[in-house]
Structure 1
Amino acid sequence: MVDQGEVSEKQKPGKHQSMQSNCYNALLDEEKKEWMKRSENKHTTALVEWEANKNRKASSDPIEIQKCIHNLSQFMHPILDQVVKATNGKLTLLWGGPEPIDRGHLNVISICSGKTLGPGGQNFIDSEKDLYRKVIEPMYARFLKKCYCLKALEELGLGLKECEATLADEVEGPNTVGSKASSSSTSLSMVTSTKPPKVKKSTIVKATKPLGHSRRPSSLPTLSQLLAAKSATVAQTGATVPVQIQPTS
């Protein structure tokens, strides 16, 4: 019926359910009892499997971990969008941790929902790109450095070499610097994945080290300095999008 144009794809699930109900109602009582028994057994089996999956420990398999990371934005987008819709607010999610496909290096994924006013609109990261790169990313990097042991990450990276080919086949490679559109054409969300330049091992977190900046957190400008510089620039130029703000020496 779908091929003939009588039922659209959107109507297909409802039509299928209606046809099944009609077929069931046409059965004899004994046949209905048999199908009811089959349905109950199938439901019981599915419920046991669901409970087992819900209560089991998280997998330590790097392939399963990478699949979860790879599908993180697709899974979280609808949730973030619904929270934004229900609260009339804006929402940004930061994920940071070792990525198996990147040999255990720490990376950061940002998922935003909600945009600024005006034609097109911008999400949080696009609207405040400079401050995000110079303040929030280094701040989150410093936090991540306190969460993971360098030795453990190095061992993880070495241990994952043997399954690199499998990982590449199972999921796409690590994302590059920048933003990519949400998987849903109607979603308000945006996901960005940060990949760093090469840095010394002592820094551990290579996901949030912008080019041209010192690796010491103390050399970063303060938030008040950045905000003051931004305000002065906006006042002079009338710009609504943050321009490049040079850190103070």
Structure 2
Amino acid sequence: MDLGLAGSAALVTGGNRGIGRAVATALAREGARVVLLGRDPDTLATTAGEIGAAGHVVADTTDDPAVVAAVDEAARLLGGLDVLVNCAAPRATTAAVPGLPGLDEADFLRNLDTKALGYLRTARAAAPYLRRRGGAIVNVSGMNARATGNITGSVRNIAVVALSKNLADDLGPAGIAVTCVHPGLTVTERTEGDPQYATAASANALGRPVTAAEVADVVTFLASPRGRVANGAVVTVDGGRPGAIWA
């Protein structure tokens, strides 16, 4: 299937590692011209060279002026923007959470600032470019949005769901589709070869780990012209959590 991404201009935040790197790789393989956004110029430059990206820009997504400057530079490098994929966020933790008495307020606020507000900042900066010819925003959230036991993880991820639907309604009339993707435990370059992680990641209906490349395939479809009819959708890519029914 031709996804219609050849020659399109895509910006991927958090594109130097994990799911973000896999998404940038998948977009580039479909013929998109990709720019990576992140905080570490060295790993960004290395990753951009390895996957054939068009370039990289440096910004901390908690810093709005830096985000605006980085998005403007990405648009300059690419001659505009058609796709934004938001992946830049603190790593989710699988460690036991101490519950309400042990809630770390500073960490809670850091997660919201980096993930929910960070996604909003990049979307706001990218919107004027996307409005010129339509396009797509895909926000990578996570299955903690549908589970209790980790207050910070649940709140930061459900905030991304609410953000995504608001943007879908706001930007849809301009031809910009916005979707949200929920990965579960996902094998990346950091966890590849870790048998304990693989066992935990296999606790889905498929009975095997889901890889970052598989998540990236779904994200790439949603970012493409063929996937934009899913505007406003929340898509799970965790291999199927047993027992839950989501209508």
Larger Rg: 1
Q: What TM-score, normalized by structure 2, do the two folds share?
A: 0.25
Larger proportion of helix: 1
Larger proportion of strand: 2
